[in-house]
Structure 1
Amino acid sequence: MKVLVIEDEKELREVITQSLEKECYIVEQASTFKEGINKLAGYDYDCILLDIMLPDGSGIDLLRELKSMNKEDSVIIISAKDSIDDKVLGLELGADDYLTKPFHLSELLARIKSVLRRKNQQGFQSLKWNNIEIFVDERSVLVDSHAMVLNNKEFELLYYFVVNANRLVTKSSIAEQIWGDNMDEADSYDFVYSQVKNLRKKLKNHQADVNIQSVYGMGYKLTNE
């Protein structure tokens, strides 16, 4: 899962990033309104942590811009302003949650998990596809109730395919989702092919009722066929 932290306070931004990376999230950062809008325009995120007070603009205006793009990224506002009016406005504009600074990192992580459960799992603790069950918080997978061991990238890849089942996902979108900013260092998408190949092999060995179709020149699609 990929998270964008838009926060101008460097120390807090780094602490949040390190905490989320320990939980195996892919984390990207922005410290200004301009950096934030560039990230939002160019990429998709599972969750955005958004500070209201940025040095060159308002996080509320960033939220308005995000919604005007018709994007579905979940948003948690993190702000030192404990104002009812700000909370109400943020939620009315489409934010999923509002957390006032200072906060415990454990609470922030719990809020993120809750938002992602509502968004991708309809509130359930697990995500199911045929005989596959994905437990996101525990980062574990069962096939016909038997454990299937995946590395971090394989887990993220399977999760991304299931969330986007029956939809074409391009190689570039997979790279952005699973590798984040690091994908810019790659000169090809061979690493995507390699991870998909490994995941397919493990799914087949565990008799998972799933098919990851290759769409020539474009990407992949997870189907029942």
Structure 2
Amino acid sequence: MLTRKLVAEGVGTALLLIGVVGSGIMAERLSPTDVGLQLFQNAAATAAVLFAIILMFGPVSGAHFNPAVTLADWALGDFPRRHIAPYIAVQVAGAAVGTILANLMFDLDAVDWSTKDRSAGHLWLGEVIATAGLVALIFALVRTGRLRYVAGGVAAYIGGAYYFTSSTSFANPAVTVGRMFSDTFAGIEPSSAPMFIVMQIVGLVAAVLLIRFVYPQDKPAGEPVS
């Protein structure tokens, strides 16, 4: 039932942003002079939340929580084209709601537009790599019949990518939009968001091409591709 799937996607994406933004705010308050520790706390909390919400909603909606994953699922799988727009709409709405709730939990204005400038070529390259790696990981596991590893794999990848990418791995257009609503550790200035999203789409396309080549669907799921 599509309605049930959309609710799962919206709530799951909201919880993801509560985790990302809320942990960023808490990290700033707990470790105000140590940016490295703030990043570690933010990364650890985000990875944990991702693991939990994928387990929670995966059986219902596929636990995309990310327009890039939804588009890749359509390009690489059997995801219905008519469901793309509703999925992306609830993901973006859920991201905005999640950020607003995180702001309110920490006694901040519901909407406080971020002033954190993230406009630079090296950050854009980071987003291409972060998104391509995330999408490739998910569909490598899907196409080899290892769905049980998706929650742990995605959590581990994003937790690590906070550190090995210059952009701290947004890797998600909905998350990028949501993070505009909070002028805190995890925020992104609205003027910086469009290029992040463009680079995420570039990463998505690269991942789809890679998966089609490395894991062609000419063998049963779970059978090694030679």
- TM (norm. structure 1) is 0.27
**Per residue, is there more strand in 1 or in 2?**
1
- TM (norm. structure 2) is 0.27
Larger radius of gyration: 1
**Per residue, is there more helix in 1 or in 2?**
2
